[in-house]
Chains A and B, each alone.
Chain A
Amino acid sequence: MPGIPLVSMEQISKAFPGVQALQQVDFELLEGEVHALVGENGAGKSTLIKVLAGVHRADAGTIRLSGRPVDPRSPREMTEAGVRVIYQELNLVPELSVAENLFLGREPTLRFPFGIVNWSAMRRQTTEILSRFGLKVDPRTPVGRLGVACQQIIEIAKAVSCNAKVVVMDEPTAALTERETEKLFTIIHELKKRQVGIVYISHRLEEIRRIADRVTVLRDGKHVATAKQTELPAQDIIRHMVGRSIDEYYPKEDVPKGGVLLEVRGLTRHGVCRQVSFRLHSGEILGLAGLVGSGRTEIAELIFGRRKADAGTVSVAGTPVRIRAPHQAVSQGIGLIPEDRKSDGLVLEMSVFDNATLSILQRTCVLGVIRHRALMRSVEQVGKQLRLKAASLGQHVKHLSGGNQQKVVLARWLLHNCQIYIFDEPTRGIDVGARSEIYRLMEDLAKQGAGIIMISSDLPEVLCMSDRILVVSEGAIAGELRRDEATPESIMRLAVRTDGGKL
């Protein structure tokens, strides 16, 4: 490995109102290196990245690019200097085509008449670039119609085709299936060969073990450790991250099953899913596994009333119910913890209190007036139970870390005393420490007699947490596996099953 640091950040400090987000953090990235950045939510990873990207300005410290000091005042400066960040929230314009997105702001133009976009060249180059990433899509397809995984690859392709020297990937595999992850790793190896430096943020320690050269651990805004990946075993990484060692990664115990809480029969929606039937028992965690785009989320949304079904019935605790809108599901005691917290779960401009009480305001108010004090006590109690970390209940949720944001969504349903919980990717973008807390909470809920449907792309998570696993493929249930018979292989076999059936 060559010795010139592409990026060197020294003694970086950054404070936000009420929070010291970074405290004298050092970070270094070499050419052709994959440097993993790990830490719990709120440890300061995102802030460090945003400082590097020029989004935030450091209060103190220096940044050097290839030895040259820089003081970025805008993201643009850093982009021009070759630093590209691929955020979890992808920066693509959904209405524009793949080609337009890839070349946004640097469209190839005709020489005459000057300034006219050269569409054919743009499409040709798009196909060329994407084929390097093994992606075969029509360059004219609007990006919004593609899956998250495809969008992610397009974002990466965009960064690389801009000749980025430093690529930062924030949880790149969160939305990817295993096969797509493999593809991403191939791409990363490719980038390494071209001397591109990669900052890789992930909570998945296995991935880090596979592709990272070095690992830096942050905790509470401070630099804790930097070491060669081979010299830092997973257990040590976890210990550094949480400041204590976690023996029980997954706490799942056996909980005796109770009666049927939710029964779904023949749920069908044209083009989305067909003839989905299953039962959820009290005390049970039912895993919904399958590839991204197989229809798992859509099935949950049909049950919850976010989308309307063409056919099928849903019964809650033995009584058939008609759910045509989310509020009807909520009044049946069903709570949805959506995959995308920021766009579907939270009102970011509102406080922890307001977000947590959103579902119960109507039920607890007296003649429309909020019983603020009583609710405050309940929220405090639930917050404590969830070990929610916030400056106060009045804090805006947009300032919370991902794990704490997830807890706010959970708090909402706990306050509502839901009996049926639908977790869509419960630990997506959530660090190890908060993860086991969320697992423990799911287990507690099951023990108290709730039923949980857990949609997850994380196979170890599905295998360890589920009592029963339904594998969804092409909008239908391809098979059911008991906890003791499920293996990654058996799940994948069902997930990729194609029988050519129409939706």
Chain B
Amino acid sequence: MNNWLGHAFRQYGIVLGFVGVVVALSILEPSFRTTNNLTNVMRQTSVIGVMAVGMTFVILTAGIDLSVGSILALTGVVCADLERRGLPVIAVVAVTLLLGTFIGTLNGVIITLGKVTPFVVTLGTMSIARGLAHIFTNGQPISGFSPSFRYIGSGELFGVAVPILIFGATVLAAAAILRYTTLGRYTYAIGGNEEAARLAGVQVDYYKVAVYAIVGLTAALGALVLTSRLNSGESIAGTGYELDVIAAVVIGGTSLMGGRGSVWGTLIGALLIGTINNGMNLLMISPYYQLVVKGLIIVAAVLLDRLRE
């Protein structure tokens, strides 16, 4: 019986927390509950959220990727440059996504073939990609995009902001992959017991590379949205995002030890972080305090997860 309660608590504890925060903010700050602001929250969350969906795969295999913020910056400036050169939007999008996937794949290959811990490899990539982004732009923002490119970050479709649709689609796609595909099952299996998966004939290395490729892809997707929304490609974009992204996954109940968690949890985790950021801005809480509050929430969420056991 205990297990069932724990299960419900883990699944819904974070949801309850999220609802609590929304209710509290609605009361404290009437401007929070305006449609305009809520749409804004969602739109702002979408970049972190999309990346957190990719990160969920990696963390489910008991891995980590610290380079997502830098991959966002590098793919962002490349995409900005291509866009300014007047390439068709579809080509810009394709190249950007491919580049992100490629960098993620490199991470995965080094981790598996080199048998190096993901933490160290992606720490290196974090610095390399950021450096390359600075070199590429010489530190100058790249701006001035076509309306069709700006549609990605600022447009609406059926009355819903496009970034929100992208985020939603990413969540649904990831949930389907995790549930219905071989890749999804093996992601959980590798995180749950890598050796047993290997001995069952699972090509563990191949799937591990795949999850890093996926997080690279989502980082590039985040770059498209952010660059388009800001109407500017900057080499400093996405600095520190890796922490928010990892926090969203962890708050969502995915275990850093791998094998346990879901993309739905990540969705809530990302929304919670976005809401709190927004709410604290509205309440005019100093950014210094915001950092402290965010940290406390991460610790509290993990403790909540532990309590269950």
Contacts and interface: CB of A to CB of B under 8 A. Distances in A.
Which one of A343, A346, A350 has the highest number of Cβ atoms from chain B below 10 Å of its Cβ? A350
A54 interface: no
Interface of A: 16-17, 304, 306, 325-327, 329-331, 336, 338, 343-350, 354, 357-359, 361-362, 365, 368-370, 372, 412, 416
Contacts of A357: 185
Given A348-B192, A358-B201, A359-B201, 14 more contacts: A304-B199, A326-B199, A327-B203, A336-B199, A343-B195, A348-B193, A349-B192, A354-B189, A358-B200, A362-B203, A368-B182, A368-B183, A369-B182, A416-B201
Nearest to A350: B192
Residue with the greatest number of chain A CB neighbours at <10 A, chosen from B188, B196, B203: B196
A365 B259 CA distance: 21
A361 B182 contact: yes
A354 B188 contact: yes
Nearest to A336: B199
Contacts of A354: 185, 188-189
Contacts of B189: 347, 350, 354, 358
Contact of A370 (B2, B182, B259): B182
B243 to A, nearest CB: 27
Contacts of A358: 185, 189, 197, 200-202
Interface residues of B, number: 25
B1 interface: yes
Interface of B: 1-4, 180-183, 185-186, 188-189, 192-193, 195-203, 259-260
Nearest to A357: B185
A263 to B, nearest CB: 21
B181 A345 contact: no
A326 B198 contact: yes
B196 A344 contact: yes
A90 to B, nearest CB: 18
A372 B193 contact: no
Instruction: Return the 5 tightest CB-CB contacts between A and B, nearest first.
Output: A330-B201, A347-B192, A358-B200, A347-B193, A327-B201
A369 B181 contact: yes
Nearest to A360: B201
Contacts of B4: 17
A329 B198 CA distance: 11
B2 to A, nearest CB: 8
Contacts of A369: 180-182
B180 A329 contact: no
A344 B202 CA distance: 13
B200 A330 contact: yes
B86 to A, nearest CB: 36
A372 B189 CA distance: 17
Nearest to A356: B200
A416 B199 CA distance: 14
B260 to A, nearest CB: 6
A350 B188 contact: yes
B6 to A, nearest CB: 10
B201 A331 contact: yes
A343 B201 contact: no
A326 B197 CA distance: 10
B61 to A, nearest CB: 12
Nearest to B205: A325
Contacts of A359: 200-202
Contacts of B2: 17
A96 B270 CA distance: 41
Contacts of B259: 347, 349-350
Contacts of B199: 304, 306, 326, 336, 338, 344-345
A124 to B, nearest CB: 38
B308 to A, nearest CB: 14
A349 B200 contact: no
A365 B260 CA distance: 23
A68 B197 CA distance: 48
A348 B191 CA distance: 11
B196 A326 contact: no
Nearest to A361: B182
A349 B203 CA distance: 20
B309 to A, nearest CB: 12
Most buried by B among A330, A336, A347, A358: A347
A370 to B, nearest CB: 6
Q: Which of A304, A331, A358 has the most C-beta atoms of chain B within 10 angstroms of its own C-beta?
A: A358
A493 B196 CA distance: 35
A181 B256 CA distance: 41
Contacts of B185: 354, 357-358, 361, 370
Nearest to B258: A349
Contacts of A349: 188, 192-193, 259-260
